[in-house]
Structure 1
Amino acid sequence: MKQTKTGWLAVATALGIATSSAIATPARDTRQDMDHLERQRQQEQIQKEIERERAFSEQHRAVTPAPDAKEQPLQNKATFLVSHIQLLGDDSPSAEAKAILAAYEGKTMGAAEIMAVVRDLTNHYIERGYVTTVVTVHPGTLKSGTLTLEVKWGTIKDMTRNGKPVDGIRDTLRLFGAMPFAEGARLNLQDIDQAVDNLVRGGGNDKIRIVPGDEVGSSVLDVTGEDPKLLNFGIGVNNSGREVEGWNQYSTNFGINNVLGLNDSISAYYAQQDFKDSANSQRIGSVNYSLPIGYWTFDASWYGSQYEKMIDGYFGRYASDGTSQRLNLKLSRVLHRDAQGKTSGYMKFANRSNTNGIEGTQTSINSKRYSEVGAGVTHVGTLANGWLYADLGVNFGVPWMGGAWRSDPDLAGFDTDFTKFNGMATWTRPFKVGNVDFVYDVGTGFQYSPNTLVTDARLSIGDEYTVRGFKDTAFYGDSGAYLSNTLRLPLRANVLGGIEVAPFVGYDGGVVKNYAPGSKPEYVMGAAVGFRFSGKYLTSSLSYGWPIASPAQSQTLARALNYRLDLRY
């Protein structure tokens, strides 16, 4: 494809095309489709994260093995003034442990008081996940005014599979990826939770039992469950296209679990638009890979789209074509986890590239590559009797991997060295009114940037995952925010392995604003009603939305009828 530096306007003039908005439509459609697919995948991952944490909260605390060693109470009734309590075995005691010791120092202590401090310290370690750790008393130092305690850590002797020694390279790799270098390590429930999390990510349904070992203080972690499901496959249809061009989009997807034996997974998605005009075509796809190792996870994703469309001009119809690609790399680490959830930190890199052209002439201004790096934190856990997923991060434009930079003459007036702050949150809370179950869902997100951004870096709203009620239209801004509210009524039907039918009603709002001087905020509001169906073999939805408020448009906004049917195995 020949490239020109004159941009869209020169091409439009040469071909006699009516308006710039007409020739921008294919590229805009591609951006909307890519955003929609990426947000869909993001929501799927968020729901999986929430479901895993909910399962941990409900199940793993039922396993609370008693310590192997129990202290015998002191037989004499003597008391001693204890001016100092020495703690052995814990080189870095927590602030809470120090506070427990300080509360007993300087007091006269007998058998009951000594057992009380031992109990309080043992409970402290259990609360921190060290459920097989005990605290013992060293005799013979009380007369000098010093009470000596020792932390005897519970340790992991070995890991087994369904009660048997691990046999085979794949099981060995799976357990290593779930909990690297476990043998001899201190036993902690948070580490076990993380191991189960990793095993489930790899397609398993595993649980871990804590079995007492042959030696005092040691335990064996027995991983129970069936072998991971190797393949997933699905087909689907949705109406993400434009009604005038052809609504239906047909898709297929497949996934492979435990690819390298390390609880990793890879999935691929492909969809093709069914246009009324056979001269038009549009394809979109994605590949996602995830590799968890202990508390670390590496994620990589690629999204791509390619289109060929005929557009109308003054002197006839002209062929337009283009491609878009997005590459995302992310390295995250769990910083803290407990019975209420987990908090992770991450670093990421993203690269976006676009090519657009008319009649074989590539337009420079719309054919660019952009790169950015970012860092942030995520949290998933309980909040106000519901479940929360939240993400807060900062991103910076960089010239890496051919990313456009400040010296690009086509981008005068845009800040490719931008800084932008992004955040999003999803909160789900079930509740009852009488004997009727309801679920309230809230989704929100924001972006703030003190820079003038290219379209690829701007926030877009006006779809099923931000502000519903809009179709074929998106609103962009350097900064903005949205709030989505949904009330669901989940009902169960015992067919096809159990299907949940959930009628819902939603009301959303959002705002976008550009950084340019004189730019005013644009407010959008919309509503939707519909049904969602979910089960073992299918996921489906049908909704009807309508705009309530939006910026002035040159054409009437289409009401949003959205349907989706996905079958999977």
Structure 2
Amino acid sequence: MAAEPVAPEQPLLRQQERERVLREQLEASPDVRLKASSDAGQGRLPANESPCFTIRHIVLEGEESASFQWALRAANPTSDPALGRCLGAAGINLTMKRIQNLIIARGFITTRVLAAPQDLSQGTLALVLIPGRIKHIRFADGTSSWATLWNAMPAQPGELLNLRDIEQALENFKRVPTAEADVQITPAGGTDVKPGESDVVIVWKQASVARVSLSMDDSGSKDTGKYQGNVSLSLDNPLSLNDLFYASFSHNLGGGKSGDRGSQGHTLYYSLPYDYWQLGLTSSEYDYHQTVAGSNQSYDYQGRSRNNELKLSRLIYRDAMRKTSAWASGWTRTSSNYIDDTEIEVQRRRMAGWQMGLDHREFIGSNTLDLGLSYRRGTGAFHALRAPEEDLDEGTSRSKIISASAQLQTPFRIGTQQFRYIGAWRSQWNRSPLVAQDRFSIGGRYSVRGFDGEQILSAERGWTLRNDLGWFAFQNSQELYLGVDYGEVGGHSVQYLSGNRLAGAVVGIRGGYKQVSYDLFLGQPLMKPKTFETADVTAGFNLSWSF
């Protein structure tokens, strides 16, 4: 009996998931949240002050006061308003502190509200705004000339000093993993210093330019090599632009079925920040091959794929508790398959299009909530080919896909023991027929754990929910964890599947010591279609060494 080659889309779907996880690790961005000190102003207004004046109006005057009228609402909380009250010195001071604290909470930490001597008998309290401006922005003495300011700091000298701009600048500096940065706000120096002006002094240093990471895991398949090795070279701030570059190379290390088979690939990435903007370019290639036994002879089956993406993102909102980014990208994707170097033309794909989305991060106490929403559209750009599936209305190169994600991280303690919960939800909806490479797949360590990944379920729509409960039993860098996952797929192509739901569980330990990190786990299916083949127990590992 002749052996069947692996379905052409399955290695590519597996590689897409592997690359997604790798990019999340290598492109992780820092979160900088600076705390602003404020005066205590949360008490209630004193009653029966003497002397006191009935305040009917509160006005804010002075330079830039028109831009801060919103702060006056802090004077009149519903439960304890200042208007209509007879206020003395203590009540007026508390009212000013409430207004001041709201201004500080918005990030204007050097802007001040004062009260000049005035006649309050007419019922009007006049407050004066002293805007806090930036006089100079500079690096601390002794900072390397390799440090660059112009594309990292959103604010300019002469502008209002806002803590959100400083947080963004620190994130732009610290997005380079080997760089450390801090900011000091000092009294303005030099001549012609005006009230409210400050200097922003940046303390910056970089330990090295290059990083190397070596990793090995068993995330491959028996058809193209179970064991996978990866080498990643990262260059931090290579052009002195707070930029980041990495090249990641993967290759199979054996394992799986006998015969000549294997896989290899690489990913190149470069990104550059500018104030609240970021530009990123990604290019990846992936090849696999296997020897397939035919009726009379063996033949070599090969697959190749190429992906490119240009992405532009902008942080459109941030405050002390949340931040939101909008992004847009253009992409191309090609794939082809061969038998003994002869292309199977019906399996050739060349697609291109655009994608846009929103990402939101919310800090809720010690919890972190991440939300994402995107829309992906295939077009005829770059000579995109018509998909053969269009003849049967089972796929198109002009795909329309909506994706959404949510992740909640919750640390907590029981007695003296530290725990955390991580819940992650991913989903996809199709607004057009989809070719196999665009479909949503489940079954394996990157989607629904507990399965060996040799078989998957894929269809036009789907969602997964992953739940991790971790216990830092030994020390903060070593975590025992239990995971329970569920996923299902839907859409037109489900009729050709053995089922559409999977559930699995996993138990493992992960952590690191110095430059070595690891993840060891055992998984087991909890629910699957009867004819869905997978191991009763799946063991897996990931080892990496960074230097």
Query: What whole-Å deviation, never above 9, does each CA across 1:131-181 have from its counterpart, x for those lacking one?
Result: 11012346668677655433221112222333x28673x32x2x2222045
Quote the Cα distance in structure 1 between the aligned partners of 2:387 and 2:10. Answer: 24
Quote the Cα distance in structure 2 between the aligned partners of 1:536 and 1:301. Answer: 30
- In the alignment, is the contact (CA less than 8 A) between 2:224 and 2:290 conserved in 1? no
Mapping of residues 536-547 of structure 1, within 5 Å = 536-547=514-525
Mapping of residues 470-489 of structure 1, within 5 Å = 470-471=451-452, 472-489=454-471
Letter in 2 for 1:510: G
Find the partner of 2:353 among 365, 372, 377. Answer: 372
What is the aligned residue count? Answer: 524
Runs of 5+ consecutive residues of structure 1 not aligned to the other structure: 1-16, 67-75, 494-498
1:3 matched residue in structure 2: none
Mapping of residues 165-184 of structure 1, within 5 Å = 168=145, 170-171=146-147, 173=148, 175-184=149-158
- In the alignment, is the contact (CA less than 8 A) between 2:394 and 2:435 conserved in 1? no
Quote the Cα distance in structure 1 between the aligned partners of 2:235 and 2:144. Answer: 22
* CA 124–244 in structure 1, closer or farther in 2 if over 3 Å, else same: closer
- In the alignment, is the contact (CA less than 8 A) between 1:491 and 1:500 conserved in 2? no
Find the partner of 1:336 among 299, 304, 317. Answer: 317
Quote the Cα distance in structure 1 between the aligned partners of 2:495 and 2:216. Answer: 43
1:186 matched residue in structure 2: 160
* CA 411–261 in structure 1, closer or farther in 2 if over 3 Å, else same: farther
Q: Does 1:226 align with 2:226?
A: no
Shift of 1:85: 2.3
1:432 matched residue in structure 2: 413
Mapping of residues 350-365 of structure 1, within 5 Å = 350-365=331-346
Find the partner of 2:249 among 253, 262, 270. Answer: 270
Quote the Cα distance in structure 1 between the aligned partners of 2:218 and 2:261. Answer: 16
Name the SS of the counterpart of 2:385 in structure 1: coil
Shift of 1:209: 1.6
Quote the Cα distance in structure 1 between the aligned partners of 2:523 and 2:302. Answer: 31
Q: Does 1:512 align with 2:465?
A: no
Name the SS of the counterpart of 2:351 in structure 1: strand
1:399 matched residue in structure 2: 380
Quote the Cα distance in structure 2 between the aligned partners of 1:437 and 1:65. Answer: 31
Quote the Cα distance in structure 1 between the aligned partners of 2:2 and 2:541. Answer: 33
Shift of 1:366: 2.0
Find the partner of 1:198 among 159, 168, 172. Answer: 172
1:207 matched residue in structure 2: 182
2:437 matched residue in structure 1: 456
1:70 matched residue in structure 2: none
Quote the Cα distance in structure 2 between the aligned partners of 1:461 and 1:43. Answer: 21
Find the partner of 2:480 among 492, 498, 503. Answer: 503
Runs of 5+ consecutive residues of structure 2 not aligned to the other structure: 40-49
Quote the Cα distance in structure 1 between the aligned partners of 2:71 and 2:94. Answer: 15
Shift of 1:314: 1.5
Name the SS of the counterpart of 1:464 in structure 2: coil
Shift of 1:25: 3.4
Letter in 2 for 1:282: S
Quote the Cα distance in structure 2 between the aligned partners of 1:228 and 1:143. Answer: 63
1:131 matched residue in structure 2: 109
Query: What whole-Å deviation, never above 9, does each CA across 1:458-495 have from its counterpart, x for those lacking one?
Result: 112222232101122222121111111112222456xx
Query: What whole-Å deviation, never above 9, does each CA across 1:43-98 have from its counterpart, x for those lacking one?
Result: 564xx44xx33xx44xx31x6499xxxxxxxxx96847655625442333464535
* CA 117–81 in structure 1, closer or farther in 2 if over 3 Å, else same: closer
Mapping of residues 65-214 of structure 1, within 5 Å = 79=53, 82-83=56-57, 85-88=59-62, 89-93=64-68, 95=70, 97-98=72-73, 100=75, 111-112=89-90, 114-137=92-115, 147-162=125-140, 164=141, 168=145, 170-171=146-147, 173=148, 175-203=149-177, 204-214=179-189
Letter in 1 for 2:463: A
Find the partner of 1:465 among 438, 446, 451. Answer: 446
Name the SS of the counterpart of 1:23 in structure 2: coil
Shift of 1:41: 2.3
1:237 matched residue in structure 2: 216
- In the alignment, is the contact (CA less than 8 A) between 1:133 and 1:152 conserved in 2? yes
1:5 matched residue in structure 2: none
Letter in 2 for 1:524: L
Which range moved further: 229-238 or 144-153? 144-153
Say which structure, 1 or 2, has more relative contact order (CA 8 Å, 6+ apart). 1
Which range moved further: 414-423 or 143-152? 143-152
Mapping of residues 39-58 of structure 1, within 5 Å = 39-42=21-24, 45=27, 48-49=28-29, 52-53=30-31, 56-57=32-33
Letter in 2 for 1:431: F
Alpha-carbon RMSD across the aligned residues, in angstroms, is: 3.1
2:14 matched residue in structure 1: 32
1:291 matched residue in structure 2: 272
Between the two proteins, what is the percent identity of the paired residues? 24
Shift of 1:532: 0.8
Quote the Cα distance in structure 2 between the aligned partners of 1:240 and 1:519. Answer: 26
- In the alignment, is the contact (CA less than 8 A) between 1:36 and 1:463 conserved in 2? no
Quote the Cα distance in structure 1 between the aligned partners of 2:483 and 2:368. Answer: 19
Name the SS of the counterpart of 1:490 in structure 2: strand
Letter in 1 for 2:322: G
- In the alignment, is the contact (CA less than 8 A) between 1:138 and 1:147 conserved in 2? no
